[in-house]
Structure 1
Amino acid sequence: MAHASDMHSLEFRLPDLGEGLTEAEIVRWLVEVGDLVAVDQPVVEVETAKAMVEVPCPYGGVVTARFGDEGTELPVGAPLITVAVGASAPAGETEGSGNVLVGYGTSQAPARRRRVRPEQPTQAVAAAGAANGRVRTPDADHDRVTTADGADGPVPVISPLVRRLARENGLDLRELTGSGPDGLILRADVEYALRAAAAHTRTTAPSAEPHTGVTPAAATPTAVPASPPAPTGTTAPTGTRVPLKGIRGAVADKLSRSRREIPDATCWVDADATEFMRARAAMNAAGGPKISVLALLARICTAALARYPELNSTVDTQAREVVRLDQVHLGFAAQTERGLVVPVVRDAHTRDAEALTAEFARLTEAARAGTLALTDVTGGTFTLNNYGVFGVDGSTPIINHPEAAMLGVGRIVPKPWVHEGELAVRQVVQLSLTFDHRVCDGGTAGGFLRYVADCMEQPAVLLRTL
């Protein structure tokens, strides 16, 4: 067993998670301070804008500190944990596993790093690990860190994000008293100080005469505002604020971008799905794995995209070109407890109904469990949105940027329908197609949608393209 003098601490930072992601939220810690971890053992579960990811640590040893509580957002490169390992490796050798996590390679520890003593009670609120990469340890004498105005001082802050918030708003952290343990400055402290400063700015009268020596604390109730107070009816409404972050924030950003950049249009049609449902029932009665409605719809979509490839494309705005794509990577909307995600079935055009059913089931289960890989939610070329599962008949879908179209499918319900010249009760579904008007005109979009409807009304039509 190594002596204490042979031990040294290595700091493991949040790695680059790929896909241009710059931050992640800590969802669940998988280790406690004092735990023994092995090389490449997952130590924390984080949620990015794309998926939930378990992050493995490239070092083996004893966890001496954790940085950030569950629910904290950390930027890529921020400290996650420190690990006490054995004697230093020979010069030039890395002490990590060398494994890569989506573009992240382990590297040597900094030449000089303060050790965190494991006997101290640490839940490393040490996330004061500031923008300069230094770490707040549980020692009595905190590391000196750079404050918002550049001066040095022992300012313990819960997270680098809090330090950045103060810096961007010109707030001197040295003037705050933290409400956390040992005076730790929390995000709530910074936000309260910013709100107080804003309120003071609104209510303090501008004056040509300098008020030397008068501070906000010394202001008297008789101070005359420059303008009359705002009417009560114009005050901001109170309520619960829900941060747009993680998957929910990514969805919001993508939908907003779609609305800004894509000149979309929507067409829709009602279709008699009676024969479609009978064909599915016959397939499932023949034995073997059950075929899902979504899988049959996907098979129809891939056949339609082969006939109308304009809708399986994207727009290169810089080159002013429409890029028609060779593969169909079919996304489908899946509702989870964490919000809407769009898993992607790779090479959907090469899969039959059974293979599509199995892949839809796998991705749906992973989406609900929060275990989708980044490759499972990126690279889609066309999206199928079965909003009928929510009990609605129609919708106007928003295109999943940077794709060119989305097919929406409502619920399949019995309705009066004229069939073979007579009124009958048939299984009817509403189909809607939202498309990027830059890639095609209404004739192409209408042809695609009509082909999908024809395949549902007469499944034999689909046999021509199988």
Structure 2
Amino acid sequence: MTGFRPGGTRSAPARAHPEHRRRHTLYFLEHAARQRPVHLDTDIDMTRIEAHRRAQRAAGGRYSVVTYLLHATGRVLHRHPEANAVLVPGGLFGLRGPRTLRFAEVTAKLALDRTVDGERTVLSALLPALESASLDDIQGRVDRYRGPDTERLAEFRGVRLLGRLPVPLGRLAFAAALRDPARRPGVFGTVAVSSLGHRPVDGFHSSGGTAITLCAGRVADKPVVRDGRLAVAPVMRLGLTFDHRVVDGGTAADVLGDLKHELEGFDDGAEEDGTQPLVRGAGADLRP
């Protein structure tokens, strides 16, 4: 006999919960399952960035960690157009063979943890032209998407529609939006960025449906070695997932290495912010 707890009391029946607010995520996961993900990661010494953040807070400003990551991502992927790309199917029966379409502009798809009508879900905001965007510009866009009533913004009208459509029509609508690879930056972005640094998460990996997906963990004090000496520094684990259909391991490793160099060597040119211009090359001092 089922449905009874020990002692003879009847257990409450399970209830089916329609996932209207998460349907866009489920459609996306069906699409992302076609990828061939490979995962890399590295530790980022955030000493210079944390010094810059402290100086900005003292001056009445504020930059989030993800803003620095987006800033670096735009510049690095602009230098690696082969990683700022999408796979183009080979046509009817695959006779033409696969190709990649490379984009001149870097558009990040930033994952947002939001509550929509009382239900927790993920929304994805697009931040175009990152290769030339300043920190202030990026932070302004991040603040807009993290503000109240984000889900009511015009950019998320399509997500709201997917939640209302019957599932067969929702799948068709999602597929139609991605059919033209040339329109992909305006629909899906060219690089996916996600952060769980606001939680006790050191590192994670995900496949964001783009050639490169970046995943940032928390910034925490950890032991590091500098010039043969043990020190303590704020460190962030940065994960990179690449779609092996589009990018090979060597290119992905170059992208991750350049991101590490860009973030650890951050300098906005203002000496009064607590950082000095970084001396490039071996043995460079990363201390503020």
TM over 0.5, shorter chain: yes
The 1:306/1:282 distance shift into structure 2, 3 A limit, reads same
Report the CA distance between 1:362 and its aligned residue.
0.7
For 2:70, the aligned partner's letter is: A
Q: Does 1:256 align with 2:38?
A: no
Q: Distance in 1 between matches of 2:108 and 2:250?
A: 23
Instruction: State the SS of the aligned residue for 2:17.
Output: coil
- 2:38 — aligned with what? 265
The 1:240/1:419 distance shift into structure 2, 3 A limit, reads farther
Report the CA distance between 1:243 and its aligned residue.
1.4
Q: Does 1:306 align with 2:84?
A: no
For 1:442, the aligned partner's letter is: G
The 1:323/1:461 distance shift into structure 2, 3 A limit, reads farther
Q: Deviations over 1:321-357 (max 9, x none)?
A: 1111121121111101130111111222231000111
- 1:425 — aligned with what? 232
Q: Deviations over 1:380-410 (max 9, x none)?
A: 22111111122201111122x3x21210110
Q: How does 1:292-441 map to 2 (within 5 A)?
A: 292-319=64-91, 320-338=98-116, 339-365=121-147, 368-374=149-155, 378-399=187-208, 401=209, 403-441=210-248
Q: Distance in 2 between matches of 1:294 and 1:244?
A: 29
For 1:303, the aligned partner's letter is: R
Instruction: State the SS of the aligned residue for 1:431.
Output: strand
Q: How does 1:275-290 map to 2 (within 5 A)?
A: 275-285=48-58, 287=59, 289-290=61-62
Q: Which has the higher helix share?
A: 2
- 2:164 — aligned with what? none
Q: Distance in 2 between matches of 1:453 and 1:461?
A: 16
Residues 289 and 354 in structure 1, CA contact (< 8 A), matched pair in contact too: no
The 1:318/1:375 distance shift into structure 2, 3 A limit, reads farther
Q: Distance in 2 between matches of 1:357 and 1:429?
A: 19
- 1:59 — aligned with what? none
Structure 2: state its 5+ residue gaps: 4-11, 92-97, 160-186, 270-276, 279-288
Q: Does 1:244 align with 2:26?
A: no
Q: How does 1:152-163 map to 2 (within 5 A)?
A: none
Alpha-carbon RMSD across the aligned residues, in angstroms, is 2.7
Residues 269 and 431 in structure 1, CA contact (< 8 A), matched pair in contact too: yes
- Radius of gyration: which is bigger? 1
Report the CA distance between 1:288 and its aligned residue.
6.5
Q: How does 1:13-162 map to 2 (within 5 A)?
A: none
The 1:384/1:323 distance shift into structure 2, 3 A limit, reads same
Report the CA distance between 1:297 and its aligned residue.
1.2
Instruction: State the SS of the aligned residue for 1:326.
Output: coil
For 1:331, the aligned partner's letter is: K
Q: Distance in 1 between matches of 2:142 and 2:64?
A: 9
Normalising by structure 2, what TM-score?
A: 0.71
Instruction: State the SS of the aligned residue for 1:315.
Output: strand
Q: Distance in 2 between matches of 1:434 and 1:324?
A: 18
Instruction: State the SS of the aligned residue for 2:147.
Output: helix
Instruction: State the SS of the aligned residue for 1:291.
Output: coil
Q: How does 1:189-200 map to 2 (within 5 A)?
A: none
Report the CA distance between 1:291 and its aligned residue.
2.7
Residues 78 and 104 in structure 2, CA contact (< 8 A), matched pair in contact too: no
Report the CA distance between 1:374 and its aligned residue.
3.2
Residues 244 and 252 in structure 1, CA contact (< 8 A), matched pair in contact too: no
For 2:153, the aligned partner's letter is: L
Normalising by structure 1, what TM-score?
A: 0.45
Report the CA distance between 1:284 and its aligned residue.
4.5
Report the CA distance between 1:318 and its aligned residue.
3.8
The 1:343/1:321 distance shift into structure 2, 3 A limit, reads same
- 1:216 — aligned with what? none
Q: Distance in 1 between matches of 2:90 and 2:15?
A: 41
The 1:454/1:426 distance shift into structure 2, 3 A limit, reads same
Q: Deviations over 1:122-171 (max 9, x none)?
A: xxxxxxxxxxxxxxxxxxxxxxxxxxxxxxxxxxxxxxxxxxxxxxxxxx
Report the CA distance between 1:461 and its aligned residue.
10
Q: Distance in 1 between matches of 2:60 and 2:150?
A: 27
Q: Deviations over 1:177-204 (max 9, x none)?
A: xxxxxxxxxxxxxxxxxxxxxxxxxxxx
Structure 1: state its 5+ residue gaps: 1-230
Q: Distance in 1 between matches of 2:198 and 2:30?
A: 25
The 1:347/1:375 distance shift into structure 2, 3 A limit, reads farther
- 1:160 — aligned with what? none
2:47 to 255, 258, 274: 274
Q: Which has the higher contact order (CA 8 A, sep 6+)?
A: 2
Q: Distance in 2 between matches of 1:288 and 1:331?
A: 28
For 2:135, the aligned partner's letter is: A
Instruction: State the SS of the aligned residue for 2:48.
Output: helix
Residues 222 and 233 in structure 2, CA contact (< 8 A), matched pair in contact too: yes
Report the CA distance between 1:238 and its aligned residue.
4.8
Residues 391 and 411 in structure 1, CA contact (< 8 A), matched pair in contact too: yes
